[in-house]
Amino acid sequence: MDDARRERLRAWLAHAAGDPALGVATAERLAGGAIQQNWGLTVRFGDGREDRWVLRTDNAATLAASHGRIEEYALLRAAHDAGVTVATPLFACPDAEVLGAPFLVMRRVDGIAAAHRVVKWEAVGGGREQAARAMGRELARIHAIRPPRQDLPFLGTPPDDPCLAFCEAQERALDAARDPHPILEWGLRHLRRTAPAPLAAVLCHNDFRTGNILWTDTHLAAVLDWEFAAWGDPHADLGWLCARCWRFGNLAMEAGGVGPRAALYAGYREAGGELPDPERVAWWELAAHLRWATIALAQGERHLSGREPSLELALTPHIVPELEWHLLAEVARREALAERAA
């Protein structure tokens, strides 16, 4: 961050915090965040106190499905008020002249989110069973937020049928792809044919997975990255977390590679959630692989279009063949089961 931007940021934060003497002692770019930029700030107040904050702002190119920082701030406020374990939201700046794009500021929380480390960490969150229960409780608290909500108008009207709305969104994503992907189209056809009946919509985080959850060795420290939240089927979050593609190689631990599925469901019930329907979760697990594939293609397009040259973005679509292989195997298995049942 250059000196001019840093001074504009300091002045804005001083005004927002009501402390004209507030200074920004350090500002460092944090790792992670393929869609957003995260900056770690150490701020010093006029009375000598220090605090550690995180600033989130947009990268040069974003995904169309991603909320802006002002909307994400509103989601953080709603989640915080509902008892979800999130970093305390502090400020939101809609003025792009300060840093070149709107941004939000929240209090920094210590912990580990790196998925490749978390799934190998036996002591994660106090142990795998406890960690899985904690994730279930957080999801139940998120799903307790229901429409209508005057503080979340940008989420729009909930879909009448979240499953079919998902299929329509995926069809649009595949139509927008640079190349045809017949296996993904085939998987989408299966999902359309087997979509369960609609349920009343709740707030879904829509990216609740290992890598977006901050852990210590005793507890779940924070749920991160709310930019995809939307009204939907609560089983969508459970399926996304449990999908094979988000277990990061630790396949036996079905709840995100972190802990057992049964403990996840138990924690969900402990916090007031209804007992998950295994068939609905299975549908959304399959849907998760299709969705991750279309997201990976969109990430690659950010690089290929020239809008945001990035080795990470260029490599992301290379996960698609593995996702297609899983779709082929899982759809074949599900259809064989249906034939035997018939």
CATH number of the domain to which 42 belongs: 3.30.200.20
The answer to whether the predicted template modeling score (pTM) of the entire model surpasses 0.75 is: yes
Nearest Cα to 12, choosing from 102, 90, 70, 98?
98
- Count other C-beta atoms under 10 Å from residue 90's C-beta: 18
Cβ atoms of 297 and 320 within 8 Å: the answer is yes
Low-confidence ranges of the chain (pLDDT < 70): 32-35, 60-65
| pLDDT at residue 35 in the model | 64
- Number of domains, the chain: 3
Cβ atoms of 100 and 4 within 8 Å: the answer is no
Q: Domain boundary residue among 276, 294, 326?
A: 276
DSSP, res 24: E
Residue 67 shares a structural domain with residue 19 = yes
Judged by DSSP in three states, 256 sits in coil
Residue 294 shares a structural domain with residue 339 = yes
The CATH number covering residue 250 comes to: 1.10.510.10
Domain range for 134: 109-157+205-276
| pLDDT at residue 33 in the model | 57
Residue 261 shares a structural domain with residue 228 = yes
- Listed in sequence order, the residues at least 6 apart from 97 whose beta carbon sits closer than 8 Å to its beta carbon are 8
Q: CA 223: distance to chain centroid?
A: 9
| pLDDT at residue 60 in the model | 59
Nearest Cα to 63, choosing from 38, 35, 103?
35
Q: Domain boundary residue among 107, 124, 149?
A: 107
Residue 26 shares a structural domain with residue 94 = yes
Residue 69 shares a structural domain with residue 146 = no
- Count other C-beta atoms under 10 Å from residue 270's C-beta: 13
Residue 10 shares a structural domain with residue 91 = yes
| pLDDT at residue 242 in the model | 98
Residue 236 shares a structural domain with residue 138 = yes
